[in-house]
Homo-oligomer: A and B are copies of this chain.
Amino acid sequence: MTGSEAREERVLEAVGQRRELVNDAIPEELPITDPERLYEASRYLLDAGGKRLRPTVLLLVAEALADVEPLSADYRSFPSLNGSDVDVMAAAVSVETIQSFTLIHDDIMDDDDLRRGVPAVHREYDLETAILAGDTLYSKAFEIMLDTDAQADRTVRALDVLATTCTNICEGQALDVEFETSSDVLTEDYLEMIEQKTAVLYGASSSVPALLLGADDETVEQLYGYGIDVGRAFQIQDDVLDLTVPSEKLGKQRGSDLVEGKQTLLTLHAREQGVDVDSLVDAESVEAVTEAEIDEAVAELEAAGSIDYARDTAAELVESGKERLEVLPDNEARHLLEQLADYLIERGY
């Protein structure tokens, strides 16, 4: 087993252990009550699975800050740095609830049929119910975050992060849509867009526990930066994987972003290098494209240095994120957060 394989194993174990606890907490925080159909639709994607990476980050940050042995303290009454105990599990579920709300509404906007191997909520139910289910999760996430028993001033700051994060996600999604029909997007615009669309929720996941537990401002800021760096790296890695992982492992056609004309850090870099990105793939649909055509396109991106550029950018972000963790005590939970950052760009799919 290589060092990277051993690390991956440790990270996946840490994520898996917390995922189970988060999965238990979701029905506690979001019980199916009247009107049942609304709550079933709201829970549909949450129950369909998901890695729970964001809640895991949140719980690991809490453990690192409190300097406790991982999994030794009760997440439901977790020791704050000063003052009374905090229900950090509620905060973790709140963040996952926001994630699920954005997925439901995004699937409507992108008219996607499938998510996590099951029909999108607007397909399984209907458009009205999907909009309403997303809206319900939205306010529930705030209700849950208001219920962590943290000091009022800390709760206010955590809610401020949560509300700003949601606004940023909407802005990022609007930019993403705008970019689809825009021909002069620069790599820096793209990095800004994925910060808003994807990375801010990682920023919330890593800073909210610090706020709730009463960490100082410098710690809060560095932890927020960790989430932003790691979240951006995660998104860039997704773009790389779309081109480099065999279709059967990816669970969808390799290179689908290219076929659909989606702008990514790779295509934007290639365009800046003079590559005629729009002609990289001729096929009009994911069904019509051949592996040979994708291979050729990837070779061209490779030659332009775009794949290396994306990998390097992601690696730099991960390094930056890991450095920020130096505000944390040197303990096992912090090491897991470092390894989680590495894993995000080393993962095969």
Instruction: Decide if the interface of chain A is mainly helix, strand, loop or mixed.
Output: helix
Residue of chain B at shortest CB distance from A166: B139
| Residues of A30-46 contacting chain B, CB below 8 A | 34-35, 37-38
Q: A326 an interface residue at 8 Å Cβ cutoff?
A: no
Across the interface, A163 reaches (CB within 8 A) one of B128, B142, B174, B175, namely: B142
A153-173 Cβ-contact flags toward B at 8 Å (1 or 0):
101100110111111001101
Decide if A109 touches B135 in the complex (CB within 8 Å). Answer: no
Q: How many residues of A contact B (CB 8 A)?
A: 41
Q: A339 an interface residue at 8 Å Cβ cutoff?
A: no
Task: With A135-B105, A139-B163 as known contacts, state yes or no: A35 contacts B175, CB within 8 Å.
Answer: yes
| Residues of A79-128 contacting chain B, CB below 8 A | 105, 108-109, 127-128
Cα A135 to Cα B108 in complex, Å, equals: 13
Decide if B156 touches A34 in the complex (CB within 8 Å). Answer: no
**A143 contacts across to B, CB distance below 8 A:** 160, 163-164, 167
Q: A177 an interface residue at 8 Å Cβ cutoff?
A: yes
Cα A88 to Cα B187 in complex, Å, equals: 43
Taking the closest CB of chain B, its distance from the CB of A130, in whole angstroms, is 10
**A170 contacts across to B, CB distance below 8 A:** 38, 132, 135-136, 139
Decide if A136 touches B171 in the complex (CB within 8 Å). Answer: yes
Decide if A171 touches B139 in the complex (CB within 8 Å). Answer: no
Decide if B156 touches A146 in the complex (CB within 8 Å). Answer: yes
Across the interface, A35 reaches (CB within 8 A) one of B35, B129, B178, namely: B178
**A178 contacts across to B, CB distance below 8 A:** 35, 37
Cα A152 to Cα B150 in complex, Å, equals: 12
Taking the closest CB of chain B, its distance from the CB of A214, in whole angstroms, is 13
| Residues of A133-151 contacting chain B, CB below 8 A | 134-136, 138-140, 142-143, 146, 151
Cα A108 to Cα B131 in complex, Å, equals: 9
Residue of chain B at shortest CB distance from A168: B139
Cα A163 to Cα B108 in complex, Å, equals: 24
Across the interface, A146 reaches (CB within 8 A) one of B35, B37, B159, B165, namely: B159
- Beyond the given A105-B132, A108-B128, please list 17 additional residue pairs across the A-B interface where CB-CB is below 8 A: A35-B178, A37-B174, A108-B127, A108-B131, A109-B127, A109-B128, A129-B177, A131-B131, A134-B135, A136-B170, A139-B166, A139-B167, A139-B170, A142-B142, A142-B159, A142-B166, A155-B156
